[in-house]
Chains A and B, each alone.
Chain A
């Protein structure tokens, strides 16, 4: 069904996207050092096959932009200001239909103006609904999720936050998830 070419790991030789083009000099150096380090880990990659056609799937989104509803607990920016090595590892639920007027983006490493102007720039719930109308997916999940992507020590997000999101998704009948960076 796809006209896109799916590569395996060998496909790296065909990679054309310059991952560093839009990064400032300092960030570029840091990310390059991290790429080298992460690649040495050679973690086995998990795999869960799709068990039904996309057109029958309930899809949930995860944004790393630190999105929280205005009436919800903010991501802890003050904690990060006190200790810049730390980033709030918690998550927030974003109900389907929530708009940019009802949320704030708390990620301090991104330009939040764009997602704040149009939430679909970072958490495309409206677009997901439109793809359901087109028959591309079955339906959008009732609840979507946001974390804050600055996590230098990922222990909590890997050991607690992500497993909690996974449990919620399963209990809410989510068939598959799409993660959107920021």
Chain B
């Protein structure tokens, strides 16, 4: 996401991004960033919570409007009402890379180092 943001900004479009992993997005280097302490898969808030989603979006756009220099970073003040375990409950996510690494754990260092093979 950070790389896409950088390309849009470089092309002359002012951008802001939201991130649940702001450490990572900041490390990539983006012009305007809002960090949020929400779990993955629910960046804007809970399904059906229009008020909460609107508050997040309004705050995100405030960062777009108010930032004055590159690498602007704001932590949004919203909190999530569940513990990590509660937030993960019922989640059924099995990305192919996790299945591959479970079979071939010796490939894990390649993922750490970003040495990505062309094919399996």
Indicate, yes or no, whether A interacts with B: yes
Chain A positions near chain B (C-beta within 8 angstroms): 1-2, 4-9, 11-12, 15-24, 26, 29-31, 33-39, 41-50, 53-54, 59, 62, 64, 80-85, 108-115, 117-118, 120-122, 124, 126-128, 130-131, 136-137, 147, 149-154, 157-158, 161-163, 165-167, 169-170, 174-182
Known A21-B37, A45-B31, A149-B1; contact A6-B48, beta-carbon cutoff 8 A: no
Which A-chain residue is minimally distant from B47 (CB atoms)? A118
What is the total of A-B residue contacts with beta carbons within 8 Å? Answer: 290
Taking CB atoms, residues of chain A closer than 8 Å to B7 are: 158, 162-163, 166
User: Out of B29, B37, B56, B114, which one reaches A18, CB within 8 Å?
Assistant: B37
Taking CB atoms, residues of chain B closer than 8 Å to A50 are: 14, 64-65
Taking CB atoms, residues of chain B closer than 8 Å to A15 are: 22-23, 35, 73, 75
Whether the Cβ atoms of A16 and B75 lie closer than 8 Å is yes
List the 3 closest pairs (A to B, CB-CB), nearest first. Answer: A162-B7, A118-B47, A2-B66
Chain B positions near chain A (C-beta within 8 angstroms): 1, 3-31, 35-48, 50, 53-54, 56-76, 80, 84, 87-88, 90-100, 111-114, 116-120
Which B-chain residue is minimally distant from A123 (CB atoms)? B44
Taking CB atoms, residues of chain B closer than 8 Å to A180 are: 17-18, 43-44
Whether the Cβ atoms of B31 and A1 lie closer than 8 Å is no
Taking CB atoms, residues of chain A closer than 8 Å to B26 are: 12
Whether the Cβ atoms of B27 and A8 lie closer than 8 Å is no
The DSSP consensus for interface residues of chain B is: mixed
